Amino acid sequence: MNLVCLRGFALGLLAAGVSAAVGQSAAARISYNPESHVFRLSGGDAEYAFGVNSKGALQTVYWGGRLAEADSLPQPNPVDRAFEIDDTPQEFAGWGGGLLAESALKITFADGDRDLVLRYQSHTLRKDGVDVLLRDLSREVYVTLHYTIDADTGILARSATVENRTKATFTVEQASAAQWNLPASAEYQLRYLAGRWAGEDQLESRSVTPGSTVLESRRGTTGHEFAPWFALARNSAVTERDGEVWFGSLAWSGSWRITVEQDPMQQVRITGGYNPFDFAYPLKPGERLETPIFYGGVTQHGYGDMSRLESLYQRRHILPHGPNPKPRPVLYNSWEATEFRVSEANQMALAEKAAAVGVERFVMDDGWFSTRKNDRAGLGDWWVDKQKFPQGLKPLIEKVHDLGMDFGLWVEPEMVNENSEIYRQHPDWIIHFEGRPSSQARHQFVLNLALPAVQEHLFQVLDTLVTDNDIAFLKWDANRNWSEPGWPQAPVAEQKKLYVEYVRGYYALLRKLREKHPKLEIESCSGGGGRVDLGVMALTDEVWPSDNTDPFDRLLIQDGFSYAYTTQAMMAWVTDSPNWVNHRSTSLEYRFLSSMQGSLGLGADLTKWSAEDVATARHMITEYKNIRSTVQQGRLYRLVSPRSGSDFSSTEYVSGDGKQAVVFAFLHSQQMGYPAPQSLPEGLDPAAFYTIRMISGKLTKGTPARASGAFWMQAGLHFELNGDYSAAAAELSREP
Ligand code: GLA
């Protein structure tokens, strides 16, 4: 049967074909074989193939390492069983026929019929992909599956468009972007990112066993609880360096769901898209529903290569200004220093200190507008507090410019306090159910961005703010999730469209603002890392992973983050010690080195820093500017993970041209005077020579000043780390 075919076929070809292809990075190749009806998409070292069987069903044929062009892939098996489609690796299963497995699309028709069986109609090849049109057995329901493959990384972008060409409205009750089928096996290991506020992106791992694992958000936004991302390793032997890993990321900032399912025949499929929970999207005749994009890739070289492929892809194809987004400037943010107590004088004082240590962007956080003295009032009233800033923001902005920095401002456009002018004027603008209490979180409600009036209002407010003031950057916050998700203004049958229309409204607002102000940069923050996904990353320049700024906790958060997202977008601030989250005390050097593994920022009360602190900060920021393009845009190697209570961790970044490598090492706690383990760098040229230079800390005595890449990779770097929370970093420069 198909199961055997898929498994045997994939494994057999892997053994025979892949080794020849690894390392080759040819252009994308798209083909369709009219005899076998098989489509093949290859890019980088990856290949994806699917085909049309004799009944017109679309089935996955292969997903793995790149194959030889001459390899012939068989036609998918004809299905001939009663519950035929349950057993077959369907590319995009409609809920109908005998389907018991997870469906990609479920529809209820006006006459009560809910049977949907999709069959191939036609296709259009593009130079980087293919669009395949499917149609229901009898009804004029059309689904176009979109596939695009990246020539360098082999990462696929998949999505679907559902179209109603019938004469009556029908309701879409589940719409996925894609289903991914893997060769049948009981050995898979799933990795995913779970967490909570101030504890985001914790890497979790479990064996894939019969049944489903559901990763999701029901909260209206991406959420802190799970990242819309998965990695599936072929077995438990897969490491950072070796073994086959399939991975995927859903580009959606609203409620989402990814289901990883092993069926009774050990077939594994991953389905992801809009969360079907509380979901209903009526489509009138002629209307369409577009799904988000589900990105997916595969590597033969372990989790490390997976993350490097994702990072490269995100910088080239997701982040604005790709393929070469600008490295992030060193930023200062006032939140932890002044919280809501901002004033012209204290911000100017902080700006002077920030400029003196080498900061390039000064960002004033919450507290600058209307009656905002705490989190109970003023949110939504986006005019400057004249008591705090009698002449508006201009004097502060001019001062920041005179100090050689650009200026950024905190906003939280989607939310309002109950105690605000805007809420008093437009109580019906919030998401709510009529006549029912609306829950508050942080004393605030969520505006309904599906309402055109709200969108227009927010555009006008933000546009005026950015036009009237020389603002280079907005930190766009969203400090709560939805509750009581009602949209009473919409017809009853359409109210659940909120889950889609809100996010579209949010994206449209970001897009419009960027179009009008092309130089404006934006950070996505949501009470820390509550809105990090490839959807929002396409419209913002950076993200805030967590409100937890403790440098030791951050090692874990950053480690998890790096599995799914590029460090270019990962902001990391140096804040005061003891840290506000856990009162842990750490040295300033340790805090800098923790943050220098991402896009560096400062969030401390600099007016309280000693002359020695200032000198340390100036030194570290100078060092950071020398390595930042390597850290943000180079290749990351997670040498030793900070997970599992490990006492030691180490990361390495290698620049795109291979000329610079940076190694960081962190000791949590030393016992019995044991020396810290060595860091074994990777990705160096074994034959080239590299000189070593300390960024911070020391290497053990006897370390040579220059040595071959082979030496550094095999003998390693022995940092002298002692006591608790000790850290060091070194730069390796390749000799010309
Ligand atoms: C959220 C953010 C913080 C800060 C505050 C301001 O908690 O994550 O960084 O901006 O809001 O109210």
Backbone angles phi, psi at 448, to 5 degrees: -90, 100
CA distances from 459 to 384, 511, 563 (A): 17, 10, 34
Report pLDDT for 17.
28
Between CA 75 and CA 88 the distance in angstroms is 13
User: What's the mean pLDDT when you consider all of the chain?
Assistant: 94
Strand, helix or coil at 225? coil
pLDDT tens digits, residue range 303-336? 999 999 999 999 999 999 999 999 999 999 999 9
Q: Evaluate: CB of 414 within 6 angstroms of ligand 1.
A: no
Helices (H) and strands (E) in the chain, counts: 15, 36
With pLDDT > 90 as the criterion, what percentage of the chain qualifies? 93
Q: What count of Cα atoms within 13 Å lies in the side-chain half-sphere of residue 326?
A: 8
131 annotated active-site: no
Q: What mean pLDDT do residues 28-47 have?
A: 96
pLDDT tens digits, residue range 679-712? 999 999 999 999 999 999 999 999 999 999 999 9
Report pLDDT for 76.
87
Q: Which two tokens stand for residue 477?
A: 């916050």
Nearest CA to ligand 1 atom 6: 366
Q: Is the peptide bond before 578 cis (omega within 30 degrees of 0)?
A: yes
Whether the pLDDT of residue 421 is over 90: the answer is: yes
Q: Evaluate: CB of 524 within 6 angstroms of ligand 1.
A: no
Between CA 729 and CA 592 the distance in angstroms is 10
Sign for the CA dihedral angle at 12, 16, 22, 25 comes to: negative
Whether the pLDDT of residue 250 is over 60: the answer is: yes
Cβ partners under 8 Å of residue 248, min gap 6 = 180, 229, 230, 258, 270, 272, 294, 295, 296, 297
Residues of the chain by 3-state class (helix, strand, coil), percent to 5: 25, 30, 45
Q: What mean pLDDT do residues 383-387 have?
A: 98
**Are residues 728 and 721 in contact, defined by beta-carbon separation less than 8 angstroms?**
yes
Among 374, 474, 479, residue to substitute to test ligand 1 (most atoms within 8 Å of Cβ): 479
pLDDT band at 6 (very low <50, low <70, confident <90, very high): very low
Strand, helix or coil at 482? coil
Cβ partners under 8 Å of residue 721, min gap 6 = 648, 665, 666, 667, 670, 676, 697, 727, 728
**Rounded to the nearest whole angstrom, what is the distance from the C-alpha of residue 93 to the centroid of ligand 1?**
42
**Are residues 541 and 517 in contact, defined by beta-carbon separation less than 8 angstroms?**
no
pLDDT band at 77 (very low <50, low <70, confident <90, very high): confident
Global pTM?
0.95
CA distances from 692 to 681, 699, 706 (A): 12, 10, 6
Backbone angles phi, psi at 463, to 5 degrees: -60, -45
pLDDT band at 79 (very low <50, low <70, confident <90, very high): low
Q: Evaluate: CB of 365 within 6 angstroms of ligand 1.
A: yes
Q: Partners of 694 in the beta sheet?
A: 730
Whether the pLDDT of residue 102 is over 60: the answer is: yes
Report pLDDT for 646.
82
Report pLDDT for 84.
56
Whether the pLDDT of residue 22 is over 50: the answer is: no
Whether the pLDDT of residue 599 is over 60: the answer is: yes
pLDDT band at 24 (very low <50, low <70, confident <90, very high): very low
**Rounded to the nearest whole angstrom, what is the distance from the C-alpha of residue 477 to the centroid of ligand 1?**
7
The catalytic position among 152, 477, 559, 576 is: 477
pLDDT band at 88 (very low <50, low <70, confident <90, very high): confident
Among 221, 364, 365, 414, residue to substitute to test ligand 1 (most atoms within 8 Å of Cβ): 365
pLDDT band at 264 (very low <50, low <70, confident <90, very high): confident
Nearest CA to ligand 1 atom 12: 366
470 annotated active-site: no
Whether the pLDDT of residue 129 is over 50: the answer is: yes
Report pLDDT for 458.
98
**Are residues 49 and 64 in contact, defined by beta-carbon separation less than 8 angstroms?**
no
* Closest ligand 1 atom to 526 CA: 8
Nearest CA to ligand 1 atom 4: 335
Whether the pLDDT of residue 520 is over 80: the answer is: yes
Among 197, 331, 339, 366, residue to substitute to test ligand 1 (most atoms within 8 Å of Cβ): 366
**Rounded to the nearest whole angstrom, what is the distance from the C-alpha of residue 410 to the centroid of ligand 1?**
9
